[in-house]
Amino acid sequence: MRDMAMHIMDIAQNSIYANATAITIEVIENKDDDSYVVIVDDNGGGMSREMVSKVTDPYVTTRTTRKTGLGIPLLKLNAERTGGNFHIHSEEGKGTNVKAEFVFTHPDRLPAGDIAGIIVLLIAANPGIEFKYQHVTNKGKYALCTAEINETLEGVSISEPSVVRFLKEMIKENQQQILIS
Residue 97 buriedness (CB in 10 A; 0-12 / 13-18 / 19+): middle
The residue among 45 and 84 lying less far from another protein, judged by its C-beta, is: 45
Contact 24, 39 (CB under 8 A): yes
End-to-end CA distance of the chain: 21
The enclosing H or E element of 22 equals strand 22-30
- CB of 33: closest distance to another protein in angstroms? 27
Residues in touch with another protein (CB under 8 A):
1-2, 5-6, 9-10, 13, 16-17, 63, 65-66, 69-71, 74, 114, 117-118, 121, 124-126, 148-149, 152-154, 156, 159-167, 169-170, 173-174, 177
Q: Any idea what DSSP says for residue 91?
A: E
d(CA 33, CA 101): 11
Q: How far is the CB of 104 from another protein (least distance, A)?
A: 23
Shortest distance in whole angstroms from residue 146 CB to another protein: 11
The distance of closest approach from Cβ of residue 46 to another protein in the complex, given in angstroms and rounded to an integer, is 16
Residue 17 or 59: the one with the smaller Cβ distance to another protein is: 17
- Pick 92 or 148: Cβ nearer another protein: 148
| Least separation in angstroms between CB 31 and another protein | 22
CA distance 67 to 61: 7
Task: Name which of 2 and 107 has its Cβ closer to another protein.
Answer: 2
Cβ atoms of 42 and 15 closer than 8 Å: yes
Nearer to another protein, 39 or 158 (CB): 158
